[in-house]
Amino acid sequence: MNDHGMNNIENHYSDGYMEPEEEWEREGLLDPAWEKQQKKTFTAWCNSHLRKAGTAIENIEEDFRNGLKLMLLLEVISGETLPKPDRGKMRFHKIANVNKALDFIASKGVKLVSIGAEEIVDGNLKMTLGMIWTIILRFAIQDISVEEMTAKEGLLLWCQRKTAPYRNVNVQNFHLSFKDGLAFCALIHRHRPDLIDYSKLSKDNPLENLNTAFDVAEKYLDIPRMLDPEDLINTPKPDERAIMTYVSCYYHAFQGAQQAETAANRICKVLKVNQENERLMEEYERLASDLLEWIRRTMPWLQSRQSDNSLAGVQRKLEEYRTYRRKHKPPRVEQKAKLETNFNTLQTKLRLSNRPAYMPTEGKMVSDIANAWKGLETSEKAFEEWLLSEMMRLERLEHLAQKFKHKADIHEEWTRGKEEMLQSQDFRQCKLNELKALKKKHEAFESDLAAHQDRVEQIAAIAQELNTLEYHDSVSVNTRCQRICDQWDRLGGLTQRRRQALDEAERILEKIDILHLEFAKRAAPFNNWLDGTREDLVDMFIVHTMEEIQGLLDAHSQFKATLGEADKEYNSIVNLVREVETTVQKYQVPGGLENPYTTLTAHDLTKKWSEVRQLVPQRDATLQAELRKQQNNEMLRRQFAEKANQVGPWIERQMDAVTAIGMGMQGSLEDQLHRLKEYEQGVYAYKPHIEELEKIHQAVQEGMIFENRYTAYTMETLRVGWEQLLTSINRNINEVENQILTRDSKGITQEQLTEFRSSFNHFDKNRTGRLAPDEFKSCLVSLGYSIGKDRQGEIDFQRILAIVDPNNTGYTHFDAFLDFMTRESTDTDTAEQVIDSFRILAGDKPYILPDELRRELPPDQAEYCIQRMPPFKGPNAVPGALDYMSFSTALYGESDL
List the domains of the chain with CATH numbers. Answer: 32-258 (1.10.418.10), 270-401 (1.20.58.60), 417-600 (1.20.58.60), 630-739 (1.20.58.60), 747-824 (1.10.238.10), 831-892 (1.10.238.10)
Average confidence (pLDDT) over 521-526:
88
Look at residue 11 and tell me whether its pLDDT is greater than 80: no
Q: What is the pLDDT of residues 798-852, one digit of tens each?
A: 888 888 898 899 999 888 888 888 776 665 667 888 888 898 888 888 999 998 8
Average confidence (pLDDT) over 540-560:
83
DSSP strand pairing (770-771 vs 812-813): antiparallel
Of the two residues 481 and 891, the one the predictor is more confident about is 481
Rounded CA gap, 284 and 340, in Å? 9
What is the 8-class DSSP label of residue 200? Answer: G
Look at residue 435 and tell me whether its pLDDT is greater than 80: no
Of the two residues 790 and 25, the one the predictor is more confident about is 790
In which band, very low, low, confident or very high, does the pLDDT at 6 lie, cut at 50, 70 and 90? Answer: very low
Average confidence (pLDDT) over 185-208:
92
In which band, very low, low, confident or very high, does the pLDDT at 188 lie, cut at 50, 70 and 90? Answer: very high
Average confidence (pLDDT) over 609-625:
88
Residue 287 is predicted with a pLDDT of 92
Average confidence (pLDDT) over 242-249:
92
Look at residue 894 and tell me whether its pLDDT is greater than 70: no
Residue 25 is predicted with a pLDDT of 36
Look at residue 639 and tell me whether its pLDDT is greater than 70: yes
As a whole number, the mean pLDDT across the chain is 84
CA distances from 888 to 753, 856, 870, 892 (A): 31, 17, 11, 7
Look at residue 293 and tell me whether its pLDDT is greater than 70: yes
Worst-scoring range by mean pLDDT, 17-21, 172-176, 375-379, 693-697?
17-21
In which band, very low, low, confident or very high, does the pLDDT at 428 lie, cut at 50, 70 and 90? Answer: low
Q: What is the pLDDT of residues 394-410, one digit of tens each?
A: 878 788 888 888 989 99
Look at residue 371 and tell me whether its pLDDT is greater than 60: yes
Q: What is the pLDDT of residues 136-166, one digit of tens each?
A: 888 888 777 666 567 788 889 889 988 988 9
Query: Helices 669-685 and 687-702, interaxial angle, to 10°?
Result: 40
Of the two residues 308 and 9, the one the predictor is more confident about is 308
Average confidence (pLDDT) over 323-345:
91
Rounded CA gap, 725 and 600, in Å? 75
Instruction: Give residues with Cβ within 8 angstroms of 432, minimum separation 6.
Output: 508, 509, 510, 511
Look at residue 528 and tell me whether its pLDDT is greater than 70: yes
- Cβ(419)–Cβ(490) under 8 Å? yes
Residue 826 is predicted with a pLDDT of 62
Look at residue 180 and tell me whether its pLDDT is greater than 60: yes
Look at residue 715 and tell me whether its pLDDT is greater than 70: yes
Rounded CA gap, 243 and 692, in Å? 84
Rounded CA gap, 385 and 373, in Å? 18
Look at residue 509 and tell me whether its pLDDT is greater than 60: no
Q: What is the pLDDT of residues 28-86, one digit of tens each?
A: 345 788 888 899 999 999 998 999 889 999 999 899 899 999 999 999 988 899 999 98
Residue 259 is predicted with a pLDDT of 72
Rounded CA gap, 447 and 528, in Å? 10
The 10 Å Cβ neighbour count of residue 700 is 18
CA distances from 130 to 64, 245, 880, 883 (A): 13, 13, 51, 49
Half-sphere exposure of 254 (CA within 13 A, CB side): 20
Residue 1 is predicted with a pLDDT of 36
Worst-scoring range by mean pLDDT, 365-369, 573-577, 761-765, 784-788?
784-788
H runs (alpha helix) in 108-239: 117-121, 125-136, 151-163, 182-191, 206-220, 229-234
Average confidence (pLDDT) over 715-724:
91
CA distances from 552 to 284, 559, 647, 708 (A): 62, 10, 36, 21
Look at residue 123 and tell me whether its pLDDT is greater than 60: yes
Q: What share of the chain has pLDDT > 70, as a percent?
A: 91
